[in-house]
Structure 1
Amino acid sequence: MGRLPKGTVLAFDFGKKRIGVAVGEKEMRLAHPLMTIHGEMTRQRFEAIAKLIETWQPVLLVVGLPVHADGTEHELTQLSRRFARRLEGRYRIKSVLVDERYTTITAKSALGELGIKGKKQKPMLDQIAAQHILQSFFDGNYATT
């Protein structure tokens, strides 16, 4: 992964209706779910992100890059790339794209193991997926493209 400056990292699981957010400290290499940003309006989303940036002062932003199981891209792949570029341009913080294949599946499984099933998962699912994206980054299991 190379030597990155010490500090906090925020990760995002981008979606059209919700954005899951996770936070972690690079030295400890542990990701924690933080929150889910709800809504489809770009202005509101970036206002919420601006507050997170101000509060956490991250040195790096990680964005999940969704692709099909075989690695081919789809509509959300391009939207996630655009979201990462906008974050970097707006906040002047480097953003890294991380392959997020199967993070929603593993997030659902993790919640299921905690006894949280079905519709009860929905409020937490995106932030748990963001946690898995960030943990994958910390563990070095990522592909930036």
Structure 2
Amino acid sequence: MLPRISALGLDIGKKRIGVAGCDGTGLIATGLTTIERQTFTLDVAQFQKLVQERHAQILVVGMPYTMSGELGFQAKQVQKLASKLAQVLNLPVEYVDERLTSVEAEQLIHLEKKTTHFIDKGLIDRKAAAIILQRWLDLRRSSNYLQTLDAPLT
């Protein structure tokens, strides 16, 4: 059995940061909010509030690798901001490959709304953050399951 977890998933962009959270069981990630980026200080204030409200223990950040799997300019910018946030919030940070999460998020929204009209970018960011966090939760659960299988029988 995995210990309870409170994680915040982040989809960091130039203009917005999609934020997702999970239930304490670590089973389901849901989009929480979208932070319109302003200054680092103002952004941090919003994160501090979220961390306190949700008793967050870790930041899970989407890493925008290039399609060839390398760290490009955008990925380095995300790393820089994420490590500053983690330091100020006094939380550990883990990274998850976020390639195509925004595309996946947009497709899910189209399926849910059954429309091809304009979609709020903030909604896409929140949904992408939830996909990022869900990937991390699933990986966490599966690696714990594999560790349980490797444990000696008593």
- Report the CA distance between 1:109 and its aligned residue: 0.5
Q: Deviations over 1:19-45 (max 9, x none)?
A: 000000352421000000003322211
Q: Root-mean-square deviation (CA), in Å?
A: 1.9
- Report the CA distance between 1:4 and its aligned residue: 6.9
Cα distance in 1, alignment partners of residues 95 and 24 from structure 2: 16
Q: Which residue of 2 aligns with 1:138?
A: 137
- Report the CA distance between 1:118 and its aligned residue: 4.1
Q: Give the 5 Å matches for 1:1-145.
A: 5-25=3-23, 27-115=25-113, 116-140=115-139
With 19-28 and 90-99 compared, the bigger mean Cα shift is at 19-28
Gaps of 5+ in 1: none
Structure whose alpha-carbon radius of gyration is higher: 2
Higher helix share: 2
Letter in 2 for 1:89: Q
Report the TM-score when normalising by structure 2. Answer: 0.82
Q: Deviations over 1:72-120 (max 9, x none)?
A: 2222101111122112211211110111011011001100101253432
Cα distance in 2, alignment partners of residues 125 and 117 from structure 1: 13
Percent identity at matched positions? 29
Secondary structure of the residue aligned to 2:118 is helix
Cα distance in 1, alignment partners of residues 99 and 14 from structure 2: 17
Cα distance in 1, alignment partners of residues 92 and 78 from structure 2: 15
Letter in 1 for 2:128: A
Cα distance in 2, alignment partners of residues 131 and 119 from structure 1: 20
